[in-house]
Amino acid sequence: MTYWSVTFATLKKDIRLEWRSKDALNSMLFFSLLVVVIFAFAFDPLAEESRHIAGGLIWVAFLFAAVVALNQTWARELRNQVLDAYRVSPAPANALFLAKALGNFIFVSVLEALMAPLFVVFYNLHVLGPAWQLIPIAILGTWALVVNGTFFAAMSLRTRSREIMLPLLLFPISIPAVLGMVAGTTAVLTGDNPAHFYIVLLLTYDVVFTTACLALFETVLHAE
């Protein structure tokens, strides 16, 4: 078993599990739908205002929805001591981490693709800046959330009330990424200022934290 074959085997397994149960996706979808509806009632914004607040709303909805999926990532492996089997197996720990992060990335991306049209409908959005820049912002932002989220989900596995623990650990560390996503999205939506700086910021964040996660994951996995 090489590094990549372990990664892809785990990824395939996760996707198949999710495809059959659709636990994470359904709960994420319904959760973010609720956020959209509640905010739409609460603010009732004009088109101009909604352009300024939509960036924040979208990412807050996705951030909270992502936590739902992230919490299930490792909890699934606790049943039948699967995680212990991983620990004693010679498979590289990083490969497991990468597969989990990629899996979460796919789930959250699917969620975003499904929810983005709803946001457009509910808030009457139409983009004034270069719309294609939303794609790198979404990809880099989602990766920033899930890479740290997967790591901290593994970390909070051995804590009391771990479902609460994950957001407590994840949100403070994610502040620069969330700022980059929200400010970048708002910059594109309003077309007031260029979003390049935020894309570079997100890219830097992704590179730094992906490296850190890969370097430290083995320690966290074996911290029984």
| Residue 128: CB atoms within 10 Å | 12
Query: Does 82 help bind another protein (rule: CB under 8 A)?
Result: no
Q: Is 102 exposed, middle or buried (0-12, 13-18, 19+ CB in 10 A)?
A: buried
Q: Residue 40's closest CA among 63, 58, 66?
A: 58
Query: Does 10 help bind another protein (rule: CB under 8 A)?
Result: no
Query: Does 12 help bind another protein (rule: CB under 8 A)?
Result: no
CA distance 102 to 146: 8
Among 114, 179, 203, 214, binds another protein (CB under 8 A): 179
CA distance 25 to 221: 25
Specify the stretch interacting with another protein by CB under 8 A; choose among 57-65, 110-118, 133-141, 207-215. Answer: 207-215
Nearer to another protein, 18 or 206 (CB): 206
Size of the site for another protein (CB under 8 A): 30
Among 148, 163, 188, 214, binds another protein (CB under 8 A): 148
Residue 174 contacts residue 145 (beta carbons within 8 Å): yes
Query: Does 201 help bind another protein (rule: CB under 8 A)?
Result: yes
Distances (CA, A) of 13 to 49, 78, 96: 44, 15, 11
CA distance 101 to 120: 28
Among 5, 113, 159, 196, binds another protein (CB under 8 A): 159
Query: Does 44 help bind another protein (rule: CB under 8 A)?
Result: no
List residues binding another protein (CB under 8 A): 148, 155-156, 158-161, 165, 168-169, 171-173, 175-176, 179-180, 197, 201, 204-205, 208-209, 212, 216, 219-220, 222-224
